[in-house]
Amino acid sequence: MRQVPLETADIAPGRVVQWRISPSDPACADQHGKRNRRSASFNQDKHHSLIDESRNTGEPLASWLAVTFEIPGTLDRAALESALLFLVRRHDVLRCEFQRVPGNLSYAVHRPDGIELEAVDLGEFDTSREILAFLGDSFQKGIDTMAWPPYIMGAVLRDDGSTTVYLAFDHIVSDGMSMPNVVRDVHVAYAAHCRGEEPVLPPPGSYMEFAREQRRSYASIGVDDDRFAYWRAFIGRNGGVFPRFPLDLGGEPGRLYRPVNETATLLDDRQAEALESRCRAVGGKPFMGLLAAVAMALRDEGGPDLYRALMPLSERGWGTWRDSLGWFVNTLPIEFSVARDLDFAQVVTGVRDGFTAMMESIDVPFIRAWELLAPEHFTGRCWPFPVNFVSYIDMRKCPGAEHHPLWRPTAHVWASRVNGSTSWFQRDTAGLHVNSIYIDTPQAHRTMDRLQRTLRETLRVLATPVVVASPRAMPDILLRA
């Protein structure tokens, strides 16, 4: 499973059907909501307020996450509709309606049995290009943080019986790790309904309960709380909450730009396995070797010898949320040295030590650190400058990954405006890939092109087995990465 721009997806033409979600008894849902409104998560609250406030500007912000995948064989349309309805009923975050009240974002949840599904036939599309253009336009116009439901579900049906299913979500109800769960849930439910059975899946855990626990622990935290010790130490060394992206992108301070969305394969599966073996040989995990390579490539392109970045980290380790949908992402800073006199093993050791220190603060919400430790930037439309932000997911470890060759899932991310660069790395059975979104300026194109070439070469060198010369021939030489 990879993350690629939607416009590059491999979707054959056909007839498009979308399914609308609606409450079967709105009046009952409203009464239920008034009695049971609760506060949304910190991520949801910040996202909602940012989108809401941007609508009063000339550049309203929007974003979505999507997944497309195949249904093998001849489609049983009734079973697919039941599977999609099962998905919405299974995950409470997909049944939440949000409401802004002064100083807080609250929500009410529709009952699982209070949800209905309605099919809308949108007609035939003759080419893949038309399909992709329609989907992109549909997602941008139809997914609204302020409206319910903030997601779209549909499929491309073909005369030969083949089917591509698509689901796109506003970030307020989903994250990147939710996409494999969506694929697994729909496929398992579809197969069960085809057999006339009820789906059997692990209990998902409630994202809204996660939000409730998070707020209970951190809503009243103060700026001097000891739980901010890691953040305060990092800020003291970095000079602020946000680590800068260290290369020139050619952007103007405070300005948002249209995004460039690109993807590339950095290593094939054989090379990626060789890199992973080398990482394990020096006491590190594969993602640590990747971070080391990214830092070395940035350094070689003119960046500093001390790497600093924000890393998004999954919080699904809490309780039973591995199988849930929601925004289970915290963000924390990491730093380590890539001084030129260090070899690969030493750099990886620095990554491991930096990651270990960072993980001690995994449960401290980034939004609270941002709000309390950098209040001067908290109300802005975006981060104050391009931030070094790097994500990594091993898709081979996601629920349902063993079926991905048959289901052919692909993830997609879109944003209306950006002011820097974000890179998502994915490892799957085909290799190591990167999807980057960055500002559309001539300088950014040059910078990112050079960086990608340097990173690819760095990774390939690291993936090459290290040959230590014979002691008799070269007694004092140790090859370095």
CATH number at residue 265: 3.30.559.30
Per DSSP (E only), the strands in 82-176 are 96-101, 104-109, 115-125, 151-157, 163-169
27: left (phi over 0), alpha (psi -120 to 50) or beta: alpha
Number of domains in the chain: 2
What digits encode the pLDDT tens for the residues 270-290?
999 999 999 999 999 999 999
What's the domain range around 241? 222-462
pLDDT beneath 50: ranges in the chain? 31-33, 468-481
Whether residues 367 and 405 share a domain: the answer is: yes
Distances (CA, A) of 299 to 173, 292, 296, 315: 37, 11, 5, 30
CB atoms within 10 A of CB 388: 25
Residue 177, Cα to own-chain centre: how many angstroms? 6
d(CA 332, CA 325): 21
Decide which of 211, 234, 261 is a domain's last residue.
Answer: 211
The residues that bridge with 312 in the sheet, in sequence order, are 331
Whether residues 183 and 298 share a domain: the answer is: no
d(CA 100, CA 134): 31
Whether residues 393 and 420 share a domain: the answer is: yes
Of 158, 91, 154, nearest to 124 by C-alpha is 158
Whether residues 99 and 184 share a domain: the answer is: yes
The token pair that represents 208 in the structure block = 């809204």
- Is 400 contained in some domain? yes
Whether residues 148 and 228 share a domain: the answer is: no
Helices (H), ranges, 202-285: 207-218, 229-238, 269-281
Whether residues 205 and 249 share a domain: the answer is: no
Residue whose structure tokens are 């209990």: 203
d(CA 206, CA 107): 14
d(CA 219, CA 233): 22
- Residues whose CB is less than 8 angstroms from the CB of residue 238 and which lie 6 or more positions away in sequence, other chains included: 308, 333, 335
Whether residues 207 and 227 share a domain: the answer is: no
Q: What does the pLDDT read at residue 469?
A: 43
- Is 126 contained in some domain? yes
Whether residues 195 and 278 share a domain: the answer is: no
Decide which of 177, 211, 245 is a domain's last residue.
Answer: 211
- Is 477 contained in some domain? no
d(CA 104, CA 359): 28
- Is 436 contained in some domain? yes
d(CA 363, CA 116): 36
Q: What does the pLDDT read at residue 466?
A: 61
Of 149, 120, 122, nearest to 134 by C-alpha is 122
Whether residues 445 and 304 share a domain: the answer is: yes
Whether residues 31 and 120 share a domain: the answer is: yes
CATH number for the domain spanning 56: value is 3.30.559.10
Q: What does the pLDDT read at residue 479?
A: 31
- Is 375 contained in some domain? yes
Q: What does the pLDDT read at residue 253?
A: 87
Residue 257, Cα to own-chain centre: how many angstroms? 20
What digits encode the pLDDT tens for the residues 95-114?
999 999 877 899 999 999 99
- Is 97 contained in some domain? yes
The token pair that represents 262 in the structure block = 């690109």
Whether residues 142 and 99 share a domain: the answer is: yes
Whether the model clears a pTM of 0.85, i.e. scores above it, the answer is yes
- Is 476 contained in some domain? no
Q: Are strands 163-169 and 151-157 parallel, antiparallel or unpaired?
A: antiparallel
Whether residues 324 and 200 share a domain: the answer is: no
- Is 470 contained in some domain? no
